[in-house]
Chain A
Amino acid sequence: MHEQFIAILKQHQTQVYKLAIYMLNDTEEAKDVTQEAFLKAWQVFETIRKETTKAWLLKTTTNLCIDRLRRRKFQSAWGEFNNENGEVEIGNKVFEVIDKTPGPLEQCLKQETRELVQKAIAQLPRDYRIAVVLRDLEELNYEEIARMLDLPIGTVKSNIFRGRRMLKKILRPMFEV
């Protein structure tokens, strides 16, 4: 059982951590949540079916993140963004990188860019953020997300598209060269 758990941990830790960091926009909290999710998995490891392990982990992580987001009731995502980094400043930084780098955009994707998107996603309302992260970053399909969040597929789709539209508005300055 121990070996199986290690395999699961190695296989899914990136996905779980990625989900946590995009949902929470905080490295320390993301680390805590990832650890907590795997420790919860260990406690009930015998009862989780192998084929549903990933979904179980992502659902647990999502719930842990939602709990943490609820605790941040006095901090709005907009407030965090404006206090930490101005939109214009971030936009300028990325413009420079894009201007200097010819060819596909992927070539200039670095840590800084990832953090920028992370901050942009953090500005989305919670339900949109969850939907966008699960669909676009974790690459789950609508049915999986609906099952995981216990929501109708229509609601999931609506949250994804609305979230994407908002994200487009936030990230737009980067692309308007």
Chain B
Amino acid sequence: MNCEIVQNILEEYLEGELDGTFRREMESHLQSCSYCQRELAMTERIANFIKVIPDPQVPEEIYENVMTQVCASQKQPTIIPLNKGGRGLFNGITDALREGISHIGDRFAMKKWQVAITMASLLLLFAILGGYYIRQKATVPQQPYHKPKSLVNEVNMTETDIDPQQVAMAVEDIKFALSIVQIATRKTELALAKLPYEMGINTVSRKAFDTVREVDAKASESILDAIRKGLVILTESESILETKTNLNGG
């Protein structure tokens, strides 16, 4: 047996695929040939190297995308765990929405897209009413923002009512509310964008959805605007307090 033959069957040798006689001939050659010994060592090293390669990291979106489509394809209640951080929660909400649409459709003999548009319209109505309510509650004047005293008066508060601690807490509360509304707005946008695609509805219905999304975005912006203005009032109240403290101190 020569080097060329040996080197062409090293893989088979390592895997134990050679029969007795052939194997013995090969081993005999290997004992006397340092070059083939090195080749065998190299082959073994590469084979072992491939076996210990770490597994690739599986992208999380695979699980989420598969489960989203699986849930969409059946009418059982969704059981996606909601403790998987923001994305898990988001999937849970969209799935729940989809399930709801499905059940309502069954109950009232409506098509899925009809239910979805009805729900989207209701959502829009809530968003507008919410915006209106916040505006009324805050009674925010449109102009001018640069006069802190008049703003404070307009929300029926006197300077003596302004407690520094309460103002600071209110600022934090409103900032928190703002962030929640921003997240909710984004998720609503995403849900509305995703829903028609997942439901596989036709072009006309999709266009209707796009219109709803557009109007919904405007309504959401109104809510955000109202909250931002509330924040302005509080920030200005803080500056009144600061001025007052400085004057008293002076």
Chain A residues proximal to chain B, CB less than 8 Å? 2-3, 5-6, 9-10, 13-14, 17-18, 21, 27, 31, 34-35, 38-39, 42, 105-106, 109-110, 113-114, 117, 136-137, 157, 160-161, 164-165, 167-168, 171-172, 175-176
Within 8 Å of chain A (Cβ to Cβ): is B45?
yes
* Closest Cβ–Cβ distance, residue A46 to chain B (whole Å): 12
Within 8 Å of chain A (Cβ to Cβ): is B52?
yes
* Closest Cβ–Cβ distance, residue B168 to chain A (whole Å): 46
Chain B residues proximal to chain A, CB less than 8 Å? 8, 11-12, 15, 17, 42-43, 45-56, 58-59, 61-63, 65-67, 69-70, 73-74, 76, 79
Given A161-B11, A167-B46, A168-B46, CB of A114 within 8 Å of CB of B52:
no
Across-interface contacts of A113 in B (CB, < 8 A)? 53
**B interface secondary structure, majority:** helix
Residue of A nearest to B42 (CB): A175
Q: Which of A27, A164, A172 has the most CB of B within 10 A?
A: A164
Given A10-B63, A38-B66, CB of A117 within 8 Å of CB of B53:
yes
Across-interface contacts of B52 in A (CB, < 8 A)? 105-106, 109
Interchain CB contact under 8 A, B67 and A6 = yes
In addition to A13-B58, A42-B69, 9 A-B residue pairs with Cβ atoms within 8 Å of each other are A39-B66, A105-B45, A109-B52, A117-B50, A136-B47, A136-B51, A161-B12, A168-B43, A172-B46
**A interface secondary structure, majority:** helix
Across-interface contacts of B70 in A (CB, < 8 A)? 2, 5, 39, 42
Interchain CB contact under 8 A, A114 and B50 = no
Across-interface contacts of A171 in B (CB, < 8 A)? 46, 49
- 19 A-B pairs with CB atoms under 8 Å apart are A2-B70, A6-B67, A9-B66, A14-B58, A17-B56, A17-B58, A17-B59, A31-B61, A105-B49, A109-B52, A109-B53, A110-B54, A136-B47, A137-B53, A157-B17, A167-B46, A168-B43, A172-B46, A175-B49
Residue of B nearest to A120 (CB): B50
* Closest Cβ–Cβ distance, residue B66 to chain A (whole Å): 5
Instruction: Kindly state the separation between the CA atoms of A85 and B15 in the bound complex, as whole angstroms.
Output: 32
Residue of A nearest to B81 (CB): A6
Across-interface contacts of A117 in B (CB, < 8 A)? 49-50, 53
